[in-house]
Amino acid sequence: MDGRSSGGKSSGGGGRNRPGDWIWGRRAVLETLRGGRWPIRDLWVSERIDTDVAEELMGLAGERDVEVRKADGDEIRARCHTDQHQGVLARMGEFPFLTLESMLAETDGPPLWLLVDAVQDPHNLGAILRSAEILGVDGVVVSGDHAPINGHVARSSAGAVSHVRIARSENLVALVMQLRRDGVNVLAAVAGDSRAARCCDLAGPVALVVGNEGHGVADDVLEICSGRIGIEQSGRTESFNAAVAAGVLLYEVDRQRRDAKDGPACSN
């Protein structure tokens, strides 16, 4: 027990998003424009990118009232300090988190929530958001001293950050208690002393809690969850990282729900 707590307000400013962050790369910028939620302040496009990509960027930018500026590769690199920009760069406004109230109120069928407790690596957070969007999560809640939603998260999520619904909680303990009162089965992902995911009934209302890379789910959150869920392992490595564990568990939820609705997809 390390004593880490998510019951109070977030300490530190690691999770605070700042306007002026950069997003680069064709897919990340295109998905941001398609999503239409995260405001783009400025957009730079190289004249050397493919015509079809340029036309889609220009069209979407026009719909969002975003000014497009022509720039060469060296100018774009000087702004984002990387050669991986693929000729496209956007300067962002502040990320528009949803309120918890609005996110929790909008569901269709048994909800699936993903509660992310102080995940600090932007690549982990991006990969988690990518899995969440692909596997039908109704909403993601980030809490604690989490990585800010920035260009690294956007690229790691392959643009999913612009499509999945994301809210922020200053008190994860209170949120877990609220969800349990509402009949949601809140399960903390832990490496040991847990029930295997395939043995859990995940077809009803579920919230999965994924913890910090180093310390896992905070003690006070862990104590009030409905239960603990884990992944059976055959190898010698201690555990999956946070992003892979989230993907595996979300797949199991999706599999069970599809089987409950349509019957097993595969048969002998």
Q: Which of 12-16, 50-54, 97-101, 185-189 has the lowest mean pLDDT?
A: 12-16
Domain harbouring 247, CATH code: 3.40.1280.10
Query: Is residue 2 one of the residues assigned to a domain?
Result: no
45 and 104 in a single domain? The answer is no
Q: How confident is the model at residue 2 (pLDDT cuts 50, 70, 90)?
A: very low
- The stretch 218-246 carries a mean pLDDT of 88
List the CATH number of the domain containing 39: 3.30.1330.30
Do 44 and 164 lie in one domain? The reply is no
List, for residues 156-192, the tens digit of each pLDDT value.
999 999 999 999 999 999 999 999 999 999 999 998 7
Give pTM, 2 decimals.
0.87
pLDDT band at 80 (very low <50, low <70, confident <90, very high): confident
Residues 220 and 139 in one domain: yes
Among 74, 127, 71, 95, CA closest to 23: 95
Q: Are 206 and 252 in contact (CB under 8 A)?
A: no
Supply the pLDDT for residue 82: 84
Cα dist. 237→197, 212, 233 in Å? 19, 18, 9
Q: Which residue has the tokens 């707590």?
A: 5
- Shared domain for 65 and 118, answered yes or no, is no
* pLDDT the model gives residue 255: 96
Using pLDDT thresholds of 50, 70 and 90, give the confidence band for residue 236: low
Residue 141 falls inside a structural domain:
yes
Q: Which domain holds residue 137?
A: 100-261
Six-digit token pair at 112?
């699936």
What's the pLDDT band for 23 if we cut at 50, 70, 90? very high
Please give the tally of structural domains in the chain. Answer: 2
**Residue 74 shares a structural domain with residue 46:** yes
13/98: higher pLDDT: 98
- The H-assigned helical ranges of 100-208 are 100-105, 122-134, 151-156, 172-181
Residues 79 and 107 in one domain: no
pLDDT tens, residue by residue, 95-140: 999 999 999 998 888 999 999 999 999 999 999 999 999 999 999 9
User: By mean pLDDT, which of 17-21, 55-59, 170-174, 184-188 is the weakest?
Assistant: 17-21
- Residue 1 pLDDT more than 60? no
